[in-house]
Chains A and B, each alone.
Chain A
Amino acid sequence: MSNNKKKNKTLLTAARKLITTANSKAIVSEQFKTLRTNINFSMPDRETKTMLFTSASPSEGKSTVAANSAVVFAQEGKRVLLIDGDMRKPTVHYTFHLTNTSGLSNLLTGQAHLEGVIKHHEIENLDIVTCGPIPPNPAELLGSNRMEKIIGDLKEKYDMIIFDAPPVLSVTDAQILSNLCDGTVIVLSAGKTQKDALLKAKEALIASKANILGVVLNNYVLQKDHYYYQYYGVEE
């Protein structure tokens, strides 16, 4: 009971964290734009179309970072598709206030077509595929040929496909997805992620031949003398 309550609460907080649409002038929004720029520069040949956000352990901010990144990429004018690849604890539909009656799991089991599961968001250029009903065999579904084919089809229609994946060390899904994607971004929470866990996650991703673009340091405590403060001073 209490566990359920707690879960609801965390899901609610996750849902409220869409900062880039809520307040595009906030420092955090600016930080997401910097992240977008850095990701753009880290793939100069423009070959990276599919991207995966994962982390070493749960609740380090993958979904928040993935959702906000999708928004900033869409704001840049790219046609962006955000796919909830976490078929164990999906949160994307909470973040964007969508229904989760049909989604990726339907697509992978052949119960639905692409057009049926893609949901348009009020932000221009941003489409979303939620997780759908939670399947019993997410790893097998993600590793199936159908998944590869779907990604191939989607690459035709979108400039950027962003996956929100489960944590690397908890389940194997992220490894499977990272192998399918052109780029992988590791999200980690400052002061929370353990160094050895991070190393193990990196090894797991390298083992699955993932192309690790880099790391996003979440929950970073901005020093008062940081350049953001100097430039775009927050009025106190």
Chain B
Amino acid sequence: MKETITIQDIFKTIKKRLSLIVILTIIALAISAIVSYVVLTPIYQSSTQILVSQEKTEVNSFSSQDIETNLQLINTYNVIIKSPAILSLVIDELELNTTAAALTNKITVSNAEDSQVVNITVQDPDPQKAVDIANKTAEVFQAQIKTLMQVNNVSVLTPAVLGDNPTPVKPDPMLNMAIAAVIGMMLGVGLAFLLEYLDTTVKTEEDIEELLQLPVLGLISNISEKDLQSTKLEVIDRRKRL
């Protein structure tokens, strides 16, 4: 027995189980909405920019080697900022109830497009705390770098500030709901096809002809009460008219 599935079959299956697919999509949407808005704690983000300026040793001698050295230096700074040496001081000064390892995960250090500006980005459930940690880290780094690397070329470019109405960076309810809707819909379609595949009943003329090689003599629809009653009503109508 050969099994061929046409596009019409696929549409028919989807149409038949449309309610199932829609319900699953809505359920997935609702769950993700609840999780995003109620369960997950919103995380706020705050960032400080620090500038690592060039030490002017020789004027007009910008070689590519110098730039490379600078970039290497910035990479070193990145590691230093996230090191426990700096972060434990931050924890001490802010009296945070956390460890340096945990704080490392909250901090992201990046330098914007090979520039000498370093971004320190902090994510925390408390927006004020995120600002404090970002500023304090920059401050401590600025102070510590002098003794660590004997340089004095770090200055804070933009300190982190707490906005009037801070918006959380994650969770993103819209994105979560969109993902959940797509997953719910795919699940529904998958389930619809599974049910269709598991259903071994005869449904169409094609089924019969394929299975039995017998002609279909007739198709009889379900006899509805409406069909049975309509003539009775007609008779009553006629009587009324008479």
Chain A interface residues (CB < 8 Å from chain B)? 16-17, 19, 22-28, 31-32, 34-35, 38-39, 42, 61, 64-65, 185-186, 188, 190-196, 198-199, 202, 212-222
B149 contacts chain A at the CB level, 8 A cutoff: no
Contact of B228 with A by CB under 8 A: yes
Please tell me if the beta carbons of A220 and B217 are within 8 angstroms of each other in the complex: no
B123 to chain A, nearest CB (A): 55
- Give the contacts of B185-224 with A (CB-CB under 8 A): 199-205, 207-208, 211-212, 214-223
Given contacts A188-B202, A199-B211, A199-B212, contact A22 B228 (CB under 8 A): yes
Min CB gap A210→B, angstroms = 12
Determine whether the beta carbon of B217 is less than 8 Å from that of A185: yes
- Given the known A-B contacts A19-B228, A191-B201, A199-B211, are A215 and B223 also in contact in the complex, defined by CB atoms under 8 Å? no
CA distance A184 to B204 in the complex (A): 20
Instruction: Give the complex CA separation of A196 and B200 in angstroms.
Output: 8
Cβ of B215 and Cβ of A26 under 8 Å apart? no
Query: Using Cβ atoms and an 8 Å threshold, which residues of chain B touch A215?
Result: 208, 212, 214-217
Which of B201, B223, B230 has a CB less than 8 Å from the CB of A195?
B201
Cα–Cα, bound, A23→B229 (Å): 8
Which B22-40 residues sit within 8 Å CB-CB of chain A?
none
User: Which B residues are in CB contact (< 8 Å) with A28?
Assistant: 220-223, 227
B227 partner residues in chain A, CB cutoff 8 A: 19, 22-23, 26-28
**Is B76 interfacial (CB 8 A cutoff)?**
no
Which residues of chain B are within 8 angstroms of A216 by Cβ–Cβ distance?
Answer: 216-220
Which residues of B sit under 8 angstroms from A61, Cβ to Cβ? 220
| Cβ–Cβ contact A192 & B220, under 8 A | no
CA distance A24 to B202 in the complex (A): 28
Interface presence of B61 (CB below 8 A)? no
Q: Is B98 an interface residue (CB 8 A)?
A: no
Contact (Cβ within 8 A) B223 A64: yes
Known contacts being A22-B228, A221-B221, is A214 close to B216, with CB within 8 Å?
Answer: yes
CA distance A191 to B231 in the complex (A): 29
Bound-state CA distance A185–B199 (Å) is: 24
Pick the residue among A31, A34, A194, A221 that contacts B200 (CB under 8 A).
Answer: A194
Please name 17 pairs of A and B residues whose Cβ atoms are closer than 8 Å in the assembled complex, sorted by A. A17-B223, A22-B232, A38-B215, A61-B220, A186-B212, A188-B202, A190-B203, A194-B202, A195-B207, A198-B211, A199-B212, A202-B212, A213-B217, A214-B214, A215-B208, A217-B219, A221-B222
Q: How far is the CA of A48 from the CA of B201 in the complex (A)?
A: 30
> CB-nearest residue of chain B relative to A68?
B220
Known: A25-B231, A38-B215. 11 other contacts (CB 8 A): A22-B231, A26-B227, A26-B230, A188-B202, A190-B203, A190-B204, A212-B214, A216-B218, A219-B222, A220-B222, A222-B219
A27 and B221 contacting across the interface, CB-CB below 8 Å: yes
- Which of B214, B222, B228 contacts A202, CB < 8 Å? B214
A65 CA / B208 CA spacing, docked (Å): 18
Contact A38 B200 (CB under 8 A): no
